[in-house]
Structure 1
Amino acid sequence: MGQGNENDRARPHATSIAVEPEQTSIADIRWIDAPGILVFWVLAIVVFLQFFTRYVLNDSLAWTEEVARYLLILVCFLGSVSAVKRGSHIALEFLMRMVPPACAKALSVVSAVITCGIYGTLTWIGIELTQKTRQKMVTLPVPKAWIYTICVVALAVMTAYAAVWAWRKLRRSPGQLVADLDRHLTTD
């Protein structure tokens, strides 16, 4: 009888999975990733313009700092949509690997439901904030409500994806959920 490694003995429900690292290519980018990537490149151009005008021309453009700040916020929210879609936000996965599969499933489902609730609550608060905001940017005549609206839409999409993840976890058997967790941990 062959001996397993220490992890297999410590965790009887562990599965041995030989997985090669995934290769990321441009084909992995989906339409849902496009807004975040686009805003990221606009941010890169604005920051370069800010650097160039400040340190090369010695005459900084006033609007670049404020625009860069808001673009960074948008990159955060739009990038989070991609992370929620892939299920790649951080979680206490080590705890789920230490408990029996049934308990791991319960923890995973509860975590997904809480996450969905937080995104939904933030969406609601964001809608209220957007409706109350009447200010414009200091340096440009752009209403701040437009930026908040993009953030709220991103939060609503994150809520929808989180609900899908919660539903998937609820439907999986405990053994399948643990195998998925192991596969996720070995490929990321």
Structure 2
Amino acid sequence: MSIDIDALPQVMGDDGQFHAQDETVDLSGTTLEAWAATGIFWLLGATVFYQFFTRYALNNSASWTEEIARYLLIGLVFMGAAIGVAKNNHIHVDFFYRFMHPRLARTVSTVVDALRVLFCGAAVILTGLMMSKLGSNSRMSMVDLPMNVVYGVCMLGFAAMTWRSVQVALIHYRRGYSVLERVDSTMQDR
């Protein structure tokens, strides 16, 4: 098998200079959860850098950084999970859908969408109940803040997952199929 080098994209011009142009960056499709996750990620990075700097450069580690980094990582996970729900790319098994009758596959897929909405909605309610039981008595170890700040971020993540689950279920309903039924489709297909 031979490769035609002239058919490949050229990045070197006749003048011997490198000529490549980047595509324009379009952030218009970035969800609110993605912006929140980006902010939390940079706070986490700054916290870990501060921890590294105080430990190894100043030889006097800031004790609060480990706890705050842990809580920021929790927030990042919950915001990331909401992004995964919005993109509908969580782990799923589509093997059995290939062998199901199309009507049965559609029914099972609809049940999966409904269960996802119910699960995430129940998680919002349960997190709220837990937060009300804890009140302001439960505090963080090193930083004098209530633990409900952390649980509030978790509840916000579950609320975003619930909202995105409803949106995904509506898209599947309007299209008449889901990614489970047609593995080659994406959420952008309309």
Q: TM-score range by the shorter chain?
A: 0.7 to 0.9
Q: For each residue in 1:11-70, what CA deviation from the matched residue of structure 2 results, as whole angstroms up to 9, or x when unmatched?
A: xxxxxxxxxxxx995524233311111001100111121122223322211000000010
Could you say what secondary structure the match of 2:61 adopts?
Answer: coil
Structure 2 residue corresponding to 1:153, chosen from 156, 172, 177 = 156
Match of residue 47 from structure 1: 48
1:1-188 equivalent positions in 2, closer than 5 A? 25=25, 27=27, 28-133=29-134, 134-174=137-177, 178-179=181-182, 181-184=183-186
CA contact (8 A) 2:121 2:162 kept: yes
Question: Kindly, what percent of the aligned residue pairs are identical?
Answer: 31
More displaced 10-residue stretch of structure 1: 166-175 or 37-46: 166-175
Residue 132 of structure 1, CA deviation = 1.8
Q: 1:25 to 1:100 in 2, by over 3 A?
A: farther
Q: For each residue in 1:67-123, what CA deviation from the matched residue of structure 2 results, as whole angstroms up to 9, or x when unmatched?
A: 001000000111111111121211112332343322221221111111111111111
Residue 176 of structure 1, CA deviation = 9.3
Query: C-alpha separation between the residues in 2 aligned to 1:175 and 1:142?
Result: 43
CA contact (8 A) 1:85 1:158 kept: yes
Residue 184 of structure 1, CA deviation = 3.0
Q: 1:145 to 1:161 in 2, by over 3 A?
A: same
The structure, 1 or 2, with the larger RCO (C-alpha pairs under 8 Å, 6+ apart) is: 1
TM-score normalised to structure 2 length: 0.75
Amino acid at match of 2:154: C
Q: 1:52 to 1:138 in 2, by over 3 A?
A: same
Query: C-alpha separation between the residues in 1 aligned to 2:74 and 2:169?
Result: 26
Q: 1:174 to 1:141 in 2, by over 3 A?
A: closer
Q: 1:79 to 1:69 in 2, by over 3 A?
A: same
Unpaired segments ≥5 residues, structure 2: 1-22
Query: C-alpha separation between the residues in 2 aligned to 1:128 and 1:79?
Result: 23
Query: C-alpha separation between the residues in 1 aligned to 2:119 and 2:91?
Result: 15
Amino acid at match of 1:59: N
CA contact (8 A) 1:105 1:169 kept: no
Amino acid at match of 1:37: T
Amino acid at match of 1:169: H
CA contact (8 A) 2:34 2:83 kept: yes
Q: How many residues align?
A: 163
Moved over 3 A (4+): 23-26, 174-179
Q: For each residue in 1:128-180, what CA deviation from the matched residue of structure 2 results, as whole angstroms up to 9, or x when unmatched?
A: 1111222221211211112211211221121122122223323433599744x
Amino acid at match of 1:94: F
Could you say what secondary structure the match of 1:184 adopts?
Answer: coil
Choose between structure 1 and 2: higher helix proportion: 1
Could you say what secondary structure the match of 2:95 adopts?
Answer: helix
